[in-house]
Structure 1
C-alpha cells in the first residue's frame, strides 16, 4: 500500500500569537501537525519544521525536520510500517 501524503498550509493560534503550520494529510486524514520553527523565520533556506502532534502511526512529538520533503518521507515511512504490521505501533 502506498499512501499519498500532502500538506495544507495553515495558521495556528489567534491573531495575537499565530504560527505558520502545515497539516500532513494522507488519504483524507490528518496524520500530523507540523509547525515552522520561528528560530529560522527570516532565513527561508534554513526553515525547519517541528512535529507538534502526530496521529495514528505518526503519534510522536518533538521531531525536527530540515524540510517538508523530509517530513513527508518520515510520514510515508511511518504509514507504510503501520500497514506492514497491521496497525501495531513499534517505537
Structure 2
C-alpha cells in the first residue's frame, strides 16, 4: 500500500505546497523556510517522546486551525508566527 510522505515540498506561483500528515497546505513563499525549519525542529526533538506520526497529525490540526481563524486557504507569515508561538513548548 502506498503511504503518504510526512512532509512534501512543492512550488506554485509564489506559494509552496507542503503535505503534512496527508494534509496539503499552501504556504506563502516568504514564510515557507520559517515553517519547515520549525516543523523539522519539532520532529527531531519529539521523536524520542512521542511517535512522529502523532506529532505530525497534531501539527496539521493546528495549521488547519490557523487557516480557519484567518478565513484563508494559504498560510501567511502571521499564521506561521502564531503557530510557532502556540507550539514553542514542543521544541
TM-score of the two chains, using structure 1 as the length reference: 0.35
The answer to which structure has the higher strand fraction is: 1
TM-score of the two chains, using structure 2 as the length reference: 0.35
Higher Cα Rg, which structure? 1
The answer to which structure has the higher helix fraction is: 2
